[in-house]
Amino acid sequence: MSAPTAPRSSQTSTPVRDPEASRALFERAVAVTPGGVNSPVRAFNAVGGTPRFIASAQGAWLTDVDGHEYVDLICSWGPMLLGHAHPEVQAAVQAAVARGTSYGTPTTPEVELAEEIVARTPVERVRFTSSGTEATMSAIRLARGFTGRDVVIKFAGCYHGHVDALLASAGSGLATLAVPGTPGVPESATGLTVVLPYNDRAAVEAAFAEHGDRVACLITEAAAGNMGVVPPEPGFNAFLSEICRRHGALFVTDEVMTGFRATRQGYWGIDGAVEGWTPDLVTFGKVMGGGFPAAAFGGRADVMGRLAPEGPVYQAGTLSGNPIATTAGLTTLRLADDEVYAHIDAAATTIKAAVSEALSAEGVAHTVQSAGTMFSVFLTDGPVRDFADASRTDTAAYAAFFHAMLERNVYLPPSAYEAWFLSSAHDDRAISTVLDALPAAARAAAAAGGAA
Ligand SMILES: *Cc1c(COP(=O)(O)O)cnc(C)c1O
177 has a pLDDT exceeding 60: no
pLDDT bin (cut points 50, 70, 90) of residue 178 is low
User: Distance, CA 13 to ligand 1 centroid (Å)?
Assistant: 32
> pLDDT per residue over 330-367, tens digit each?
999 999 999 999 999 999 999 999 999 999 999 999 99
What mean pLDDT is predicted for residues 33-37? 95
pLDDT bin (cut points 50, 70, 90) of residue 437 is very high
Asked if 154 is an active-site residue, the reply is no
**What is residue 15's predicted lDDT score, i.e. its pLDDT?**
80
Of the listed 64, 286, 386, 427, which one is catalytic?
Answer: 286
Burial of 351 (0-12, 13-18, 19+ CB in 10 A): buried
Asked if 428 is an active-site residue, the reply is no
What mean pLDDT is predicted for residues 282-310? 98
Asked if 398 is an active-site residue, the reply is no
User: Distance, CA 162 to ligand 1 centroid (Å)?
Assistant: 8
**What is residue 17's predicted lDDT score, i.e. its pLDDT?**
85
What mean pLDDT is predicted for residues 283-306? 98
**What is residue 191's predicted lDDT score, i.e. its pLDDT?**
86
Shortest-distance Cα residue to atom 15 of ligand 1:
257
User: Distance, CA 91 to ligand 1 centroid (Å)?
Assistant: 27
What mean pLDDT is predicted for residues 145-154? 97
Distances in whole angstroms, Cα of residue 373 to Cα of each of 82, 349, 425: 13, 9, 14
Q: Which atom in ligand 1 lies closest to the alpha carbon of residue 221?
A: 13
Alpha carbon distance 288, 333 (integer Å): 7
Shortest-distance Cα residue to atom 6 of ligand 1:
132
User: Distance, CA 283 to ligand 1 centroid (Å)?
Assistant: 9
Q: Which CATH superfamily is domain 338-447 in?
A: Aspartate Aminotransferase, domain 1 (3.90.1150.10)
What mean pLDDT is predicted for residues 200-215? 96
User: Distance, CA 285 to ligand 1 centroid (Å)?
Assistant: 7
**What is residue 183's predicted lDDT score, i.e. its pLDDT?**
81
**What is residue 351's predicted lDDT score, i.e. its pLDDT?**
98
> pLDDT per residue over 252-293, tens digit each?
999 999 999 999 999 999 999 999 999 999 999 999 999 999
13 has a pLDDT exceeding 60: yes
**What is residue 11's predicted lDDT score, i.e. its pLDDT?**
52
User: Distance, CA 82 to ligand 1 centroid (Å)?
Assistant: 19
180 has a pLDDT exceeding 90: no
- For 399-403, which contacts have Cβ atoms below 8 Å and span 24 or more sequence positions? 399/46, 399/47, 399/48, 399/448, 400/441, 400/444, 400/445, 400/447, 400/448, 400/450, 401/441, 401/442, 401/444, 401/445, 401/448, 401/450, 402/47, 402/441, 403/47, 403/48, 403/49, 403/444
User: Is any atom of ligand 1 closer than 6 Å to the C-beta of 259?
Assistant: no
Q: Which atom in ligand 1 lies closest to the alpha carbon of residue 255?
A: 13
175 has a pLDDT exceeding 60: no
Of the listed 64, 66, 72, 159, which one is catalytic?
Answer: 159
Portion of the chain with pLDDT greater than 90, in percent: 87
Pairing state between β 374-378 and 367-371: antiparallel
pLDDT bin (cut points 50, 70, 90) of residue 187 is confident
Lowest mean pLDDT among 2-6, 45-49, 116-120, 419-423: 2-6
2 has a pLDDT exceeding 50: no
Alpha carbon distance 160, 252 (integer Å): 11
- The domain spans of the chain are 20-45, 87-335, 338-447
User: Is any atom of ligand 1 closer than 6 Å to the C-beta of 366?
Assistant: no
**What is residue 450's predicted lDDT score, i.e. its pLDDT?**
59
| Domains 87-335 and 338-447 alike in fold | no
To test ligand 1's pocket by mutation, which of 155, 159, 252 has the most ligand atoms within 8 angstroms of CB?
159
To test ligand 1's pocket by mutation, which of 134, 226, 258 has the most ligand atoms within 8 angstroms of CB?
226
> pLDDT per residue over 85-108, tens digit each?
999 999 999 999 999 999 999 999
169 has a pLDDT exceeding 80: no
User: Is any atom of ligand 1 closer than 6 Å to the C-beta of 315?
Assistant: no
User: Is any atom of ligand 1 closer than 6 Å to the C-beta of 226?
Assistant: yes
> Considering the chain, what is the average pLDDT of its residues?
93
Shortest-distance Cα residue to atom 5 of ligand 1:
132
Alpha carbon distance 195, 175 (integer Å): 7
User: Is any atom of ligand 1 closer than 6 Å to the C-beta of 136?
Assistant: yes
pLDDT bin (cut points 50, 70, 90) of residue 167 is confident
**What is residue 188's predicted lDDT score, i.e. its pLDDT?**
82
pTM check: above 0.85: yes
What mean pLDDT is predicted for residues 52-58? 98
Portion of the chain with pLDDT greater than 70, in percent: 94
User: Is any atom of ligand 1 closer than 6 Å to the C-beta of 285?
Assistant: yes
CATH for 87-335, options being 3.40.640.10, 3.20.20.70, 3.40.50.300, 1.10.10.10: 3.40.640.10
> pLDDT per residue over 218-262, tens digit each?
999 999 999 999 999 999 999 999 999 999 999 999 999 999 999
10 has a pLDDT exceeding 70: no
User: Is any atom of ligand 1 closer than 6 Å to the C-beta of 161?
Assistant: yes
User: Distance, CA 166 to ligand 1 centroid (Å)?
Assistant: 12
What mean pLDDT is predicted for residues 149-164? 93
